[in-house]
Amino acid sequence: MSSQLPAPAGNNTFERIKRVNAEGNESWSARDLAQVLEYLNFRNFEPVIQKAKEACVQSGHAVADHFAQMRNMVNLGSGAQRELEDWALSRYACYLVIQNADPSKSLVALGQTYFAVQTRRQEMADDEALKEDKMRLLLRAEMKKHNKNLAGVAKQSGVVDPLDYASFMDHGYRGLYGGLGVRDIHQRKRLKPRQHVLDHMGSTELAAYLFRATQTEEKLRRENVRNKVHANRIHNEVGRKVRKTIHELGGTMPENLPVAESIKKVASWEKKRLKART
């Protein structure tokens, strides 16, 4: 049986009242939702929101992640404006709200189905994102170890000075990235000056980088290289062979892979996630 979930209709009532900010984050106004669900007085809807918040806590989620208090300015008949309290609700918050709404309301059942599907779709996407984050953290840890090993072997191969090592690493990048050096890659991926290329590689790009590093390390050892020019040539050669393999497999060239979220943020998120489970 397929796990594919039906896509919500584009003209769905709940889809129409969805708000999307400049960063692409979506939310629903509690007042808009109350109106759609036919709550004539928002005061009668507030206890429903409170029950939903309690359900959120019981489910192990942080209320602040799904219910954000806000204030809206509305026009009065006299031309004046009045500030009204409102809540910006996440998709999950809407699901909890509708689960606690009056079942006699005509659109409650429809809303339950809509947000159940939407919430499940997001859960599936979050699961995939979590797998990617874990893989990135694992590969980055391996890279840290093998970069240290590679630096040691490179030193034995005649790459002694810091400037020589920077040139050695650049040769490896140029082989793997089709002639692009570190600065070129940094510019191509539109990273900020203080952002490190390695910190923004996804798992596919990290894996290619790691393979290049381990194979260069082994080749330098195996051939007992003792000349920095020879070491640079080998690093570039290994990078080109890894690139050729990616091409033969029909993969995306590393310079064309998307920029990932900072690995430092991912590590922080994972630390918080593990802490929340204890």
Q: Average of pLDDT values for 134-160?
A: 89
**Whole-model pTM above 0.75?**
no
* Beta strands in 187-277, from DSSP E residues, in sequence order: none
pLDDT tens readout for residues 45-101: 999 999 999 988 887 888 998 999 988 766 666 667 777 889 999 988 988 888 888
Burial class (CB in 10 A: 0-12, 13-18, 19+), 239: buried
Mean pLDDT over the full length of the chain: 84
Instruction: Look at the block and give the residue holding tokens 């650049």.
Output: 170
Phi then psi for residue 262, to 5 deg, are -55, 130
Q: What is the DSSP string of 76-130?
A: -TTS-EEEEEEEEE-HHHHHHHHHTS-TTSTTHHHHHHHHHHHHHHHHHHHHHHH
pLDDT tens readout for residues 230-270: 999 999 999 999 999 999 989 899 999 999 989 888 888 77
pLDDT tens readout for residues 172-226: 999 999 999 999 999 999 999 889 999 999 889 999 999 999 999 999 999 999 9
pLDDT greater at residue 17 or residue 174:
174
User: 20 forms bridges with which residues in the sheet?
Assistant: 26
Distance CA(76)–CA(169), nearest Å, equals: 66
Residues 6 or more apart in contact with residue 197 via CB below 8 angstroms = 182, 185, 186, 189, 191
Domain ranges for the chain: 13-106, 128-277
